[in-house]
Amino acid sequence: MFNDLSRMGKYLGQAARMLVGMPDYDTYVEHMKSKHPDKPVMSYKEFFRERQEARYGGGGKGRPIRCC
């Protein structure tokens, strides 16, 4: 029973992150290891920052990150 609850919690969390535009890091790691084993895997911090910049636009060159 707890296995099913744990799995359900993982999928609900994954769905919630996708709803707000934040892909799941574990899924990214699995993808990189299976499809691109020769390429380095970003750390969670790098992954989070890259996804934020992709969604909201990177500040770069002293500009703040903004959504509009």
pLDDT band at 37 (very low <50, low <70, confident <90, very high): very high
pLDDT band at 2 (very low <50, low <70, confident <90, very high): low
Which tens digits make up the pLDDT trace of 4-16? 888 887 778 777 7
Quote the CA–CA distance of 14 and 34 in Å, as a whole number: 20
Question: Using an 8 Å Cβ cutoff, are 67 and 56 in contact?
Answer: yes
Query: What six digits make up the tokens of 26?
Result: 């574990």
Query: Does pLDDT of 67 surpass 60?
Result: no
Please count the residues of the chain: 68
Whole-model pTM: value is 0.56
Q: What local confidence, expressed as pLDDT, does residue 15 receive? A: 75
